[in-house]
Amino acid sequence: MKTACFFPDRYIAVMIAAVITGLWEGLVHIGILSPLFFPPPTVIAVTLFRWLFNGKLTPHLAATLSRALTGFAVGALSGLAAGLTMGWSERVRTVTDPFIAAAHPVPKIAVFPLIMIIFGIGEMSKIAVAALSAFFPMAINTVTGVRQISPLYFEVARNYGAKPFKMFTRVIIPGSLPMMLTGMRLALNNSLTLTIAAELVSAQKGLGAMIWLSWETLRTEELYASLIITALLGICFNMLVQFAAKRLIPWQKGIS
């Protein structure tokens, strides 16, 4: 329910953020907070703007983006294919279920050293770990999506004489699309997380490398600035999927 409040809730959140930032700035200046751990927000902002205009940020951002997105594309597409096959065929599902169940809970970053041995320390290993982390949520959510389609709709389609191809394009795909998009959101988040984690360990370029370098050189304001960029990237990814959901599933209550 919306009441005629002088400050809508959204503005209250913005005001709280502003107050905290102001307090932070003030506390550093009067010497209560150490600028070594908490560089004043103004300094962080200046760092961000410097990066934006001196071109230092672009190559790092580009490296992270291309790794995360390539990994996402490879992982999510194969996850989608796997998920649809598993959702479609009971036999495939029975055979593959134990493997998925065993492999899914393994934290993918733990596999990274192994992946580096196989793919080398170049781009491939980072893309591979991102792809691996995108594969599982995509596959699992797609299977769930196909499985939760009410049997009624399969029956209706069959009753109207739908052939397998039409069953696929008119029932299975649209029926599982909401879950697929959930899988996509998780897959995108995972590939970003894993890309940055991999970059922390082994990269010259990328947001992860930036974060690591600012820690090594104890430039805390750069650490904060890289974190802000990373957070913004994550938010962008989520908004992208939300936008896609709005366009692709207009029949879902509550989305449109």
Partner 1 sequence: MNFKCQELSKVYSPDNRTIPVLENVNFSVTEGEFVCIVGPSGCGKTTLLRLIAGLLEPTSGQICFNAGENRKQPRNVMVFQEHGLFPWMTVLDNVAFGPEMQGTGKHEGRELARSLIIQTGLADFSQCYPHQLSTGMHQRAAIARAFAADPRMLLMDEPFSALDAQTKLLLREELLRIWKDRRKTVVYVTHDIEEAILLGDRVLVMTGRPGTVREDIPIPIPRPRNLTDGDYPRLREIKQHIWKMLEHEVRQSLSRYR
The residues of the shown chain that bind partner 1, judged by CB under 8 A, are 150, 152-153, 155-163, 166, 170-171, 174-175, 177, 249-251, 253
Q: How far apart are CA 144 and CA 213, in angstroms?
A: 41
CB of 140 to partner 1, least distance (A): 21
Q: What is the DSSP letter of 1?
A: -
Pick between residue 140 and residue 177 the one whose CB is nearest to partner 1: 177
Pick between residue 11 and residue 251 the one whose CB is nearest to partner 1: 251
Pick between residue 23 and residue 155 the one whose CB is nearest to partner 1: 155
Which stretch of DSSP H or E encloses residue 122? Answer: none
> Backbone dihedral region of 252: left (phi > 0), alpha (psi from -120 to 50 degrees) or beta?
beta
CB of 99 to partner 1, least distance (A): 28
Q: How far apart are CA 159 and CA 14, in angstroms?
A: 55
The residue type of 209 is A
CA dist 23 → 20, 36, 247 (Å): 5, 17, 41
Pick between residue 243 and residue 251 the one whose CB is nearest to partner 1: 251
Contact 170, 161 (CB under 8 A): no
Residue keyed to tokens 């291309």: 66
CB of 255 to partner 1, least distance (A): 11
Pick between residue 46 and residue 173 the one whose CB is nearest to partner 1: 173
CB of 256 to partner 1, least distance (A): 9
CB of 161 to partner 1, least distance (A): 5
Contact 122, 131 (CB under 8 A): no
Contact 233, 195 (CB under 8 A): no
